[in-house]
Structure 1
């Protein structure tokens, strides 16, 4: 954590967006308003009043899960503007909208559809699996020459499997939730 006059920079990486939303709302309740998110893990905060804002996160995938729903993006942004919400600009993760609204304006909810959440989590899971496979390949390349690097690569591969497994459980839970709703 790095703190500059009236600013705070924190490094966090969240795979599960509910955890990320809880972290941001916790910081808001402590008097730190999120001002930007860079590269998906650098959170910049600036001072505000304690509990002045509420943050919500929405997903923008189409039902096919392969592309961002531009129509949904426009509709959601208009809806958020009508609710006096501030939309946070991020340098990546165009499939997600971060919205802030003053807490004195009452309850603030964004209903992300389950299919969009599933699509987002599938992409994150696939990313972890690909990184794990790359680490295994590098481990196999180095196994004959430099054993300690190969060992480190295999450990890295295992470490990437943990979030992939966790995301798999979340996806399974969301799918069962979707079945219940239908």
Structure 2
């Protein structure tokens, strides 16, 4: 089964993946919002999503380390990695103390911050071309670019709130 969904919040995405598994569908593949599932025992796995520090060289050490603890690497997209562990093997939490959770959310926030900055500059460039040549394409692409910048800004604010709550 294939399902297309677009998530920006990894906690909501994890929750949805775990709900799908409770219904008997295990994540098999992921690419740009397209999730591919295969049948499994209901609740067979617990899913977690992590953002690696960097993708170059980090992936193989990380995956090997996780496999030592019974965690299976399922899929990846850029620096995002999808992991699962058999539910029967017990709890599966990647970040168990608040300090490591804060660092994890800071990494995610900074990821969205970089994307926001890129979108903001791209939007400003697009607006400047719009002033030189007024047409529907330039106007439409400006709106789309600023829409993504707004989404990324919203995620930055959301992760700032999560970080603040964990630091209290």
Instruction: Please tell me the TM-score bracket, short chain as reference.
Output: 0.7 to 0.9
**Deviating 4+ runs (over 6 angstroms):** none
Alpha-carbon RMSD across the aligned residues, in angstroms, is 2.8
TM-score scaled by length of structure 1: 0.71
What pairs up with 1:1-182 in 2 under 5 angstroms?
Answer: 8-38=1-31, 40-61=32-53, 67-68=54-55, 70=57, 74=61, 76-90=62-76, 92-93=77-78, 95-111=79-95, 113-114=103-104, 115-133=106-124, 135-137=126-128, 139-143=130-134, 146=135, 148-176=136-164, 180=167
> Using the alignment, how far apart are the partners of 1:155 and 1:136 within structure 2?
9
SS in 2 for 1:109: coil
Worse-matched range after superposition: 14-23 or 131-140:
131-140
Name the structure where helix makes up a greater proportion of residues.
2
**Does the CA-based 8 Å contact 1:34-1:44 persist in structure 2?**
yes
Unaligned 5+ runs, structure 2: 96-100
Aligned-pair CA distance for 1:131: 4.9
Unaligned 5+ runs, structure 1: 1-7, 62-66
In 2 relative to 1, CA 48–72 (structure 1 residues): closer, same or farther, beyond 3 Å? closer
Count residues in correspondence.
161
In 2 relative to 1, CA 60–158 (structure 1 residues): closer, same or farther, beyond 3 Å? closer
In 2 relative to 1, CA 70–157 (structure 1 residues): closer, same or farther, beyond 3 Å? closer
> Using the alignment, how far apart are the partners of 1:171 and 1:54 within structure 2?
23
**Does the CA-based 8 Å contact 2:44-2:88 persist in structure 1?**
yes
**Does the CA-based 8 Å contact 1:59-1:116 persist in structure 2?**
yes
> Using the alignment, how far apart are the partners of 2:59 and 2:139 within structure 1?
46
**Does the CA-based 8 Å contact 1:53-1:102 persist in structure 2?**
yes
CA deviations on 1:121-167 (whole Å, 9 max, x unpaired) are: 32333344355345534543442xx3x44443343244223302212
